[in-house]
Structure 1
Amino acid sequence: MKTPLLGNRTFYDGVLRIGLPVALQNLLISSAGIVDTLMISTQGETAVAAVGLCAQFMSLLFSAYFGFCHGGVIFVAQYWGANNKQGICRTYGLMISCMMFFGLLFGALAVLAPQAIMQVYTDKAPIQQAGALYLSIVGFNYPLQVLAYGMSALLRATERVRIPLYASIAALLTNTALNWVLIYGQLGFPALGIAGAAIATLISGVVNLGFIVVACLWDRNPYLFRFSEHFRWNKAFLKQFFAKSSFIVGNEAAMGVGNMILNAIIGRQPAAALAALAVFRVVEGLVFAFFRGFTSAAAVMVGKQVGSGNHLQGYTDAKRFVLLCPAVTLLVCLLIQPFRAGLLGLFSLSGEALYYGMNILAIYTVFATLRSCNWISNDCFRAGGDSSFGTILEIVCLYCFTLPALGLGAALHLPFLAMYCLMYLDDVVRFGVVLWRVNSGRWLKPVTDEGRAALPDFRALLVAHGHRLRKRGIK
């Protein structure tokens, strides 16, 4: 059990090889959001708030399909460690089928009922109208986004991380150029404002998916296009897949609904606060970009070790991620602090909106560190095959602590910044519990034959190690 907890060269090589391209990809995606918000900010605070609330509907879509995606990644990463190509193909087929159902559903809702959606998120008519226009166009991109995300997840889980990165670069360049042309009316095109931003997002989504498809065909990817093997599901596989995925799907659905309620409560705050929050969520993407790199690396590295039966290595790597990810999150947040005013000023925030934005970024430094620890721990649990513990804990804390506190705060008319702090109450409650769970090792629940065969020896090692610590008076 004596392994360097801060990691060795092999560990960091894996983090850089898998996590860095994913972090760069997400940084590019966040940069696209920043470019969108920067350009839309010239249209006024109403447009910024509308696009920010539309992003929350897209987050609800993400919650709907992400559970199936992450459940699939559990299997793909462990099958990758066991070199089971048929298992990878059939997992991808089932995963993408489930994901596309929600991509088509949400796309139809956005296109056909955008006004009704916006009424859920805010009671301010100008924001509703602007958001409905944006949703009615960008909704066509939702199925494309879901398909591209599923393909990228498979590529990352099988350690082919460059294609999604290059696709994101192409999409960012396309989105930026088209935003300039369509929002402002350059090169002879009419100035379309917020509708132009939506059209640019749709076309960049086509470019992103097209790049991935063409690159994978050129690379002769051994999994994405073996359609005859994507649907070779048997009863035992379906039972195992949905047994693992159901908790993640339920988690994401419950969290999506909970966050929708949360955003509906926050959406009744002053327009200046909503504009500041919309800009903050774009800046938050810079932090989240690095975080997603770590979670992708953790899912592949921990899942691969557990799937191959090397449980001690998977357990040790998980503990390393739980230390490393919050430390990097804190560092990134601290680096942003000196540039808060200039950064927010780029988005045309001023007066009350600038005041809210400055304080949001300061408060976020503390809560982002706690949240990243909770999230990376839960991703390690899932990579190890335990999809239930973190799910139940997350749902219970959101519905029993955060939402009641926000409801009470709204009834008492608490100031916006106090309401913002209450949004993170569940992360404070979960923090100590997830650290205990990581250290216990009880989250290792392999789905491969190789992993299950090695589990008794690992559990015996943990028990023996625990006895030795207790004899030394260490708990």
Structure 2
Amino acid sequence: MTQENKMGTMPIGRLMLTMSWPAMLSMLIQALYNVVDSIFVAMISESALTAVTLIFPIQMLLISVAVGTGVGVNSLIARRLGAKRYDEADLAASHGFRISFINWAVFALFGLLFSKVYMSAYSDSLYIVENGALYLLITTVFSLFVFIQVNTEKVLQATGNMLLPMICSLSGAIVNIIFDPLLIFGIGIFPEMGVVGAAVATVFGQFVSMCFGLMLLFGRKHLVNVKIKGFKLNWEIVKDIYNVGFPAMLMQSIGSIMLFCINGILAFSETAIAVLGSYFRLQSFIFMPVFGLNQGAMPIMGYNYGARNKERLMKAYRVGIMIAVVIMAIGTLIFLTFPTQLLGLFSASERMLEIGVPALRIICLCFIPASFGILTSTIFQATGHGMLSMWQALIRQLIGIVPLVWVLLKIGGLSLVWWAWPLAEILGTVYSVIFIRKLYKKEIESLGNEIKSLG
């Protein structure tokens, strides 16, 4: 059974687990090194943690562009493979690499010109501005590594190979975790670099992941063949990539915009910003496995949509939701039971615990409804309807949360702010229910009928 055929023939439950577990493990490792990075930075001071938290939206935006483009490449490759249009699948993969260089140039230019301006807009602290600007400069100028890494992983995932991308992510995460304390605190032969050391360790980990990914992609045979040169940029293919990729990019970058706005609203309290930063790193342990599930589910859904197999498409959607709900329920229980211990990982002060413990217990109520939203977004993307995903994300992460944060802060102060997350997730769930029903009736319900009638 070839990798191509298994997405159309293997039992969905086993296929979903086979396709998803490497990505889920990979995303867990990614979450681990994000948290470890912040744990070590927090050991320097709360101001150091605040500096890294203020940079987090830019890092999220950068990853959003990389992953959004990769999702577009992934979706197009999977649909072309399902439709047996192999040359077009090759071209989609090849175009992804050229686009990566363009995206890198934009962020590198931003880092060179605006790092200090950005940090100064959020803080008057010289320590926070100086260290944050250096961290931002390093991670943007060397972001080519992560753009190529993500594109490589998405190409491999689109062919049904989820194990090799996991190896790429795992290698970089391990390197990052090892070098974080060495470069932050100056252990052994390494210089003590503080916050800047965390940036260098992150970039070095991304470089290692990129190298592994390129070796695995070009050193083995796969269902798609990638060309670096020898072809002209086809704007129709770029358009097809971004029909799904641009909404996916916007969908993920909405989280960055949301953090920009909320950091501004909470700028009166350095501790509240530190709590928010700690929460986003902690919740990644819960959300990242679901995003890994998303990565495994998308090529299955995309392949069977291209093959016009309604039963397998919808079963993949239902199985994905069930697995996601279980993961999110476990996460909710952990956040409700151990908020003090979770915040203690970041050397939390008494004031940080006072704000953060109730915050974690309230925000985690959004986890279970989010599982439905994430998998519904996956089927939107897999069927080529990225705009539906984008609007869902707008409601869940921007249109809902930011106004609610502002209103709740005015009504009841900081203690009410955290209810914005579960309330926004309720709005997102209503949207998801309405539009998945419309998509099913308009496109999915009739899949395969023309084949049966010809038979």
Q: Provide the secondary structure at the position in 2 that maps to 1:188.
A: coil
1:111 touches 1:135 (CA, 8 Å); kept in 2?
A: no
For 2:428, the aligned partner's letter is: R
Tell me how far apart the structure 2 counterparts of residues 458 and 406 of structure 1 sit (CA, whole Å). Answer: 52
Cross-structure match for 2:330: 331
Where does the alignment leave 5 or more consecutive residues of structure 2 unmatched? Answer: 1-8
Q: Deviations over 1:162-195 (max 9, x none)?
A: 2222222222222222222211111133211111
2:46 corresponds to 1:42: no
Paired residues for 1:68-467 under 5 Å: 68-122=69-123, 124-221=125-222, 223=224, 225-227=226-228, 231=232, 233=234, 235=236, 237=237, 240-252=240-252, 256-266=256-266, 268-395=267-394, 400-409=399-408, 412=410, 414-442=412-440, 454=448
Change (3 A) 1:224 1:408: farther
1:365 alignment partner AA: C
Q: Are the counterparts in 2 of residues 306 and 444 from structure 1 also a CA contact under 8 Å?
A: no
Give SS of 1:388's match: helix
How much does 1:329 deviate? 1.0
Larger mean CA deviation between 83-92 and 393-402 belongs to 393-402
Q: Distance in 1 between matches of 2:215 and 2:333?
A: 40
Alpha-carbon distance, 1:58 to partner: 0.8
State the Cα RMSD in Å: 3.0
Is 2:51–2:128's contact at 8 Å kept on the other side of the alignment? yes
Could you tell me which amino acid in structure 1 is paired with residue 426 of structure 2?
A: V
**Unpaired runs of 5+ in structure 1?**
1-7, 460-475
How far 1:215 moved relative to its partner? 2.5
How many aligned positions are there? 445
> Counterparts of 1:285 and 1:355 in 2: how far apart (Å)?
22
- The answer to which of 398-407 and 28-37 deviates more is 398-407
> What amino acid is aligned across from residue 279 of structure 2 in structure 1?
F
Tell me, yes or no, if the aligned pair for 2:139 and 2:203 is still in contact at 8 Å. yes
Q: Classify 1:444/1:196 alpha carbon distance in 2 versus 1 (closer, same or farther; 3 Å).
A: farther
Letter in 1 for 2:303: K
TM-score by length of 1: 0.84
Distance in 1 between the 2:280 and 2:396 partners?
22
Tell which deviates more after alignment, 192-201 or 356-365.
356-365
Structure 1 residues 49 and 259: CA distance shift in structure 2, 3 A: closer
Partner Cα separation in structure 1 for residue 441 and residue 200 of structure 2: 44
Residue deviations 1:374-428, cap 9 Å, x none? 1221111111222223323443565544333333445x27432322322454322
Deviates more, 1:399-408 or 1:153-162: 399-408
Q: TM-score, normalised by structure 2?
A: 0.87
Structure 1 residues 257 and 40: CA distance shift in structure 2, 3 A: closer
**Aligned residue type for 2:21:** L
Deviation digits for residues 407-461 of structure 1 (CA, Å, limit 9, x no counterpart)? 3445x27432322322454322121231243344438759xxxx998366799xx
AA partner of residue 262 (structure 1): I
Map of 2:4 onto structure 1: none
Cα deviation code 1:312-366 (max 9, x no counterpart): 3202321332343133212233135433322322221120112223223212321
Percent identical among aligned pairs is 18
TM-superposed CA distance for 1:64, in Å, is 3.2
Cα deviation code 1:74-97 (max 9, x no counterpart): 211212323432122211233343
- Residues 126-174 of structure 1, C-alpha deviations (whole Å, 9 max, x = no match): 4222211211222233121111011111111212122222222222222
CA separation of 1:336 and 1:398: change in aligned 2, threshold 3 A:
closer
